[in-house]
Amino acid sequence: MTLPSRRAFATAAMAALLVGCGGHGADRATTAHRRSTPPPSPSPDKAVHALGRSVPVTLRIPAIGVDTPVIQLGLASDGSVQVPPIAAHDRAGWYRHSPTPGRIGPSVILGHVTVGTYGDGVFRHLARLRRGDRIVVRLENGTTAEFAVTSVRTVAKAEFPADAVYGDVDRPELRLITCGGSRTGDGYLDNVIVFAALSSATP
Amino acid sequence: MRRTVLSAMALASTAVLASTVPAFADGASPTPTARRSATAAPAPATTAPTRAPSATPAPTTASSEPSAVPTRAPASRQVSVVPSGAPNTGVVPVSKQSGAGGGLIGGGAAAVFVVGGAAVFVVRRRRATGA
């Protein structure tokens, strides 16, 4: 093989190599792992009165542009918590075996981070929340409960902190849960959990 | 001179192929592939199959108490039934047809090699004919 031929062949080979690398890079670029975990800390505001029982109907999180209806969720057949249906405009879901928002205890609301072919889920940017951000829940009886974020945690699913999420507390609190972290074949390795406490309520 | 031109042609053709492959990798979903919709319908699961709080042993396996309302758990925890495991609240977007994507990338690389080989052949032939 002559010199120019070698050059041409080497150029083609290099280009092919770059093509292969480029394809994988594009695939991975979306899985940037952000572990934004300010340490959980108790919230100062504690003097807000607990509300009566009334199921949540809408959820607003202005900091990340969430404004969604809230459905009710129970348990799946395997004993895990149900999640909202995979749909184009997915909604958040309140776990009905937890207190309603504003009652004393941890009220649990879940939403998808992504919904497969439909793209982003309602809680796509949940991990961007910061301490002090507002979460507004409107209840069926017309009351609006406003919560303030106390901490955001990203935890491995294998080490899901059930006690911290579902355990008893001495004031009205809220948990927002979605998935996050690295992706595997069809899911995520981590959960993003937002802890919030009731800051005000308007009838 | 001709060599330079031919080398440039080989480079240009590989560049064209290189630009097409990422486009394939991005949208490699020939069918919608309805990924396992983890929960078919959320609503009527009011039977609460596993009563999680394990503080009380509850020895009666055949406890068919008809009056036990699911939401009013025996141990009055604030969350009356603690789910098992972690919530599965994310179905990964379509980008993961790694089999198809890998095939396309491999095919693209093969095409690049074919073009490169053709360029080599043309150069050699030109030189043989006395260019």
What is the DSSP track for A111-144? --SBBGGG-B-TTTTGGG--TT-EEEEEETTS-E
How do residues B32-81 score in pLDDT, each as one tens digit? 444 444 444 444 444 444 444 444 444 333 333 333 334 444 558 999 99
- Measure the CA–CA gap between A112 and A84, rounded to whole angstroms: 7
Q: Do A85 and B120 touch (CB under 8 A)?
A: no
Q: Do A5 and B120 touch (CB under 8 A)?
A: yes
Contacts with A, B 96-115, CB within 8 Å = 96, 98, 101, 104-106, 108-109, 112-113, 115
Q: Is residue B13 part of a domain?
A: yes
Confidence at residue B88, expressed as pLDDT on a 0 to 100 scale = 92
Contacts with B, A 34-63, CB within 8 Å = none
**How large a percentage of chain A has pLDDT more than 90?**
70
Say yes or no to pLDDT of A11 above 60: no
> Shortest CB distance from B81 goes to which of A15, A75, A77?
A75
- Whether residue B15 lies within 8 A of chain A, CB to CB, comes out as yes
Nearest Cα to A127, choosing from A73, A176, A68?
Answer: A176
pTM flag (> 0.90): no
> Shortest CB distance from A85 goes to which of B39, B79, B86?
B39
Is the confidence metric ipTM above 0.85 for this complex? no
Closest CA in chain A for residue B41: A85
Confidence at residue B48, expressed as pLDDT on a 0 to 100 scale = 43
Q: Is residue B74 part of a domain?
A: no
**Check: CATH 2.60.40.10 for A48-202?**
no
CA A103, chain centre distance (Å): 22
Q: Is residue B14 part of a domain?
A: yes
Tally the C-alpha atoms within 13 A of residue A51's C-alpha that lie toward its C-beta: 29
- Measure the CA–CA gap between B88 and A84, rounded to whole angstroms: 10
**A155-169, A171-185, B93-107: lowest mean pLDDT where?**
B93-107
How do residues B73-104 score in pLDDT, each as one tens digit? 455 899 999 999 999 998 888 764 444 444 44
Minimal C-alpha gap between B109 and chain A (Å): 5
Contacts with B, A 143-202, CB within 8 Å = 157-158, 160, 162, 166-169, 177-180, 183-188, 191
Position with higher pLDDT, A85 vs B127:
A85
Q: Is residue B53 part of a domain?
A: no
Point out which residues pair with A152 in neighbouring strands.
A194
Q: Do B77 and A168 touch (CB under 8 A)?
A: yes
Residue corresponding to tokens 């542009």: A65
Residue corresponding to tokens 């969350």: B79
Q: Which two tokens stand for residue A116?
A: 């497969």
Q: Is residue B114 part of a domain?
A: yes
Report the pLDDT averaged over residues A177-191: 90
Confidence at residue A24, expressed as pLDDT on a 0 to 100 scale = 38
Which pairs with CB-CB distance under 8 Å and at least 24 residues apart come from B7-12?
A: B7/A4, B7/A7, B7/A8, B7/A11, B7/B119, B9/B119, B10/A8, B10/A11, B10/A12, B10/B115, B10/B116, B10/B119, B11/A8, B11/A11, B11/A15
Say yes or no to pLDDT of B108 above 50: yes
> Shortest CB distance from B101 goes to which of A23, A103, A113?
A23
Q: Which two tokens stand for residue B113?
A: 């090699």
> Where exactly are the structural domains of chain A?
1-30, 48-202
What three-state secondary structure class fits B81?
Answer: coil
Residue B47, C-beta contacts closer than 8 angstroms, at least 6 positions apart: B70
CA angle A85, A89, A95 (to 5 degrees): 40
- Measure the CA–CA gap between A176 and A162, rounded to whole angstroms: 13
Say yes or no to pLDDT of A38 above 50: no
Confidence at residue B117, expressed as pLDDT on a 0 to 100 scale = 73
**pLDDT band of A17, cuts 50, 70, 90:** very low
- Measure the CA–CA gap between A113 and A125, rounded to whole angstroms: 7
Confidence at residue B90, expressed as pLDDT on a 0 to 100 scale = 86
Say yes or no to pLDDT of A45 above 90: no
Say yes or no to pLDDT of A189 above 80: yes
Q: Which two tokens stand for residue B14?
A: 């590989």
Q: Is residue B77 part of a domain?
A: no
* Listed ranges A33-47, A104-118, B11-25, B117-131; the one with the highest mean pLDDT: A104-118
Contacts of A103 in chain B (CB under 8 A): 78
- Measure the CA–CA gap between A161 and A191, rounded to whole angstroms: 10
- Measure the CA–CA gap between A55 and A100, rounded to whole angstroms: 6
Confidence at residue B13, expressed as pLDDT on a 0 to 100 scale = 59
Q: Is residue B79 part of a domain?
A: no
- Measure the CA–CA gap between A73 and B3, rounded to whole angstroms: 70
Helical ranges in chain A per DSSP H: 3-28, 162-166
- What range does the domain containing B1 cover? 1-27+97-131
Q: Which two tokens stand for residue A59?
A: 């959820």
Q: Is residue B78 part of a domain?
A: no
Say yes or no to pLDDT of A82 above 50: yes
Say yes or no to pLDDT of A33 above 50: no
